[in-house]
Amino acid sequence: MQGASPTVAGVAFLARPGRPAVVTRTLTELTGPTRGVVELPVRLMWNADRTFDLGDPDQLLWLYENVLRETTRAEDLRQLVDGRTLRRVWRLLNLPRGVRQAWESRHRALRTA
């Protein structure tokens, strides 16, 4: 199953110029880890230190922000983001406007999270 890039009037929401935001069809398919340490692949974060302790709330937010902003693959979202956790931290995430709009247009539950 491919990820989708929601649109308004046929124009994709952009994570940044030239890059459409990637959004999964459902939040339940997001089955990433909820504890432990996660290392992001270089394609999602170019920093030498790409490890995140999910027990640290700030590191969890930083991980989710990077994945949601940088991914071009729905599979990254499924493997690295947990749907329940995403809903819980949604309002705390510092995301580009296009990413936030794309997710909220597809998943209305995030608008009120």
Cα→Cα distances 51→10, 41, 100, 102, Å: 37, 9, 24, 27
Q: Which of 24, 14, 36 is nearest to 98 (CA)?
A: 14
* Chain mean position to CA 16: 14
pTM of the model: 0.89
Residue found by looking up tokens 């729905």 in the block: 74
Give the Cβ contact number of residue 62 at 10 Å: 16
d(CA 38, CA 63): 9
- Judged by phi (left if over 0) then psi (alpha if -120 to 50, else beta), residue 61 lies in alpha
Q: What is the pLDDT of residue 9?
A: 43
User: Is the confidence at residue 3, as pLDDT, over 80?
Assistant: no
**Local confidence band at 20 (pLDDT 50, 70, 90 cut-offs):** very high
- Over residues 61-90, the pLDDT tens digits come to 999 999 999 999 999 999 999 999 999 999
